[in-house]
């Protein structure tokens, strides 16, 4: 249950007493991720999904399913990756969403986000534009997901 | 002028022909950043501002000004850092905003974002929760800004 901890943190901020993240908060996020049963990746791209599943396996997490939805419209918004992730929140009953796409304006590079069932951001990772880093899609996605999980202590 | 390139990219996405970022797009973002005259950092925190200015100088960019606005309310939103940056867009006439705060839910660690005068995301960088990385605020902020600029080829 993240809600109890979020409420406490919100109250701290209202009172001007918030001093940054607490160990228990990050631990609750780790628990949420580790207990996920249904993981969804919006935008059915075979390669992207395989890379994600290879990495999830290393962390002891269940396989993600691809969501067959056209996400092109997300690329006409201010935050394409967040918009894609929310498409999956709104059209599935997944516990966890892993979306990958553009960070911001065209040319701004990529982002991978880990979102919970209510659309809250649990973790993320950012890469340079592919024309700058020159990595394969698979390599970039695997690194981003690894980073996004490890930064929380997983 | 980013608008012309954004329109072209949006049209590509609508037609299902978008193949990721183009060199010219990232170049236009670099040009926009390098020509910034007024840079603002919402949330007046002396240490944070000094770290940001030390880094901006290394990249040949002008000093940023702190914005005296209470940003606590941003920490009760889904994307605290983006919300803080938008507060600066809405209350100043800056060319560039550099905001730093929490990524998502409490416990999710931090984010630094570089935003343009209309609220568009040009670049960003993400760090682990401070209780996990154990770095000083100054060190973390300097690294994040450096990463956010270098990933675009600056
Ligand atoms: C649609 C789209 C886009 O325009 N740009 C990017 C970033 C990149 O090419 O590095 C991505 C991942 C993307 O899905
Ligand atoms: C208000 C706030 C918060 O709750 N968490 C963080 C992330 C961290 O502590 O690593 C930051 C930067 C912050 O400004």
* Tens-level pLDDT at each residue, chain B (154 residues): 899 999 999 999 999 999 999 999 999 999 999 999 999 999 778 889 999 999 999 999 999 999 999 999 999 999 999 999 999 999 999 999 999 999 999 999 999 999 999 999 999 999 999 999 889 999 999 999 999 999 999 9
Contact list in A for residue B105 (CB cut-off 8 A) is 2, 6, 25, 29, 116, 120-122
CB A54 within 8 A of CB A31: no
Q: What interhelical angle do B137-150 and B46-58 show, nearest 10?
A: 40
A49 to chain B, closest Cα gap in Å: 18
Q: How many residues does chain A have?
A: 154
Judging contacts by C-beta atoms under 8 Å, the chain B residues touching residue A24 are 107
Instruction: Name residues whose C-beta falls within 8 Å of residue B53's C-beta, 6 or more positions apart in sequence.
Output: B63, B64
For residue A79, list chain B residues with Cβ-Cβ distance below 8 A: 82, 121
Evaluate whether B138 touches B112 at the Cβ level (below 8 Å). Answer: no
C-beta atoms of B78 and A119 within 8 A: yes
* Of residues B104, B122, B126, nearest to A104 (C-beta): B122
Contact between B148 and B122 under an 8 Å Cβ cutoff? The reply is no
Q: What is the pLDDT of residue A44?
A: 73
**Cα A135 from chain centre:** 20
Contacts of A13 (CB under 8 A, 6+ apart): B72, B73, B75, B76
Is B75 within 8 Å of A107 when comparing Cβ atoms? no
Predicted local confidence at residue A124, as pLDDT = 99
CB A67 within 8 A of CB A41: yes
Q: How far apart, in whole angstroms, are the C-alpha atoms of residue A131 and residue A107?
A: 9
Please name the member of A18, A73, A122 whose beta carbon is closest to the beta carbon of B104: A122
Interface test with A, best of B13, B45, B107 (most A CBs within 10 A): B107
pLDDT at residue A134 above 90? no
Q: What is the distance between the terminal CA atoms of chain A, rounded to a whole angstrom?
A: 18
* Partner residue facing B26 (CB), from A8, A13, A131: A131
Q: Are B70 and B128 within 8 A, CB to CB?
A: no
Q: What is the pLDDT of residues A31-84, one digit of tens each?
A: 999 999 999 999 778 889 999 999 999 999 999 999 999 999 999 999 999 999
Question: Each residue of B74-99: pLDDT tens digit?
Answer: 999 999 999 999 999 999 999 999 99
The residue of A1, A3, A8, A21 whose CB has the most chain B CBs within 10 angstroms, and thus the best one to mutate to test that interface, is A21
Q: Among A18, A25, A7, A21, which Cα is nearest to B72's?
A: A18
**Residues flanking ligand 1, CB < 6 Å:** A 75, 101-102, 106, 109-110, 129-130; B 18, 20-21
* Residue A152 to residue B108, Cβ atoms within 8 A: yes
Report which protein residue has its CA nearest ligand 2's atom 5.
A20
Say how many CA atoms lie within 13 Å of B12 toward its Cβ. Answer: 14
**Do A13 and B108 make contact, defined as CB atoms within 8 angstroms?**
no
* Contact between residue B129 and residue A109 where contact means Cβ atoms under 8 Å apart: no
């Amino acid at each position: 249950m993240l809600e109890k901890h979020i409420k406490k943190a919100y109250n701290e901020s209202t009172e001007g007493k918030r001093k940054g993240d607490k160990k228990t908060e990050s631990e609750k996020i780790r628990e949420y991720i580790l207990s996920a049963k249904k993981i969804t990746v919006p935008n059915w791209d075979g390669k992207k999904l395989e890379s994600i599943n290879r990495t999830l396996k290393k962390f002891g997490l269940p396989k993600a399913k691809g969501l067959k939805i056209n996400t092109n419209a997300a690329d006409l918004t201010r935050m394409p990756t967040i918009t894609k992730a929310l498409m999956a929140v709104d059209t599935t009953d997944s516990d966890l969403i892993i979306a990958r796409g553009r960070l911001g304006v065209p040319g701004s590079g990529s982002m991978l986000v880990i979102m919970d069932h209510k659309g809250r951001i649990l973790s993320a990772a950012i890469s340079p534009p592919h024309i700058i880093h020159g990595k394969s899609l698979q390599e970039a996605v695997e690194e981003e997901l690894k980073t996004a999980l490890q930064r929380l202590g997983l």
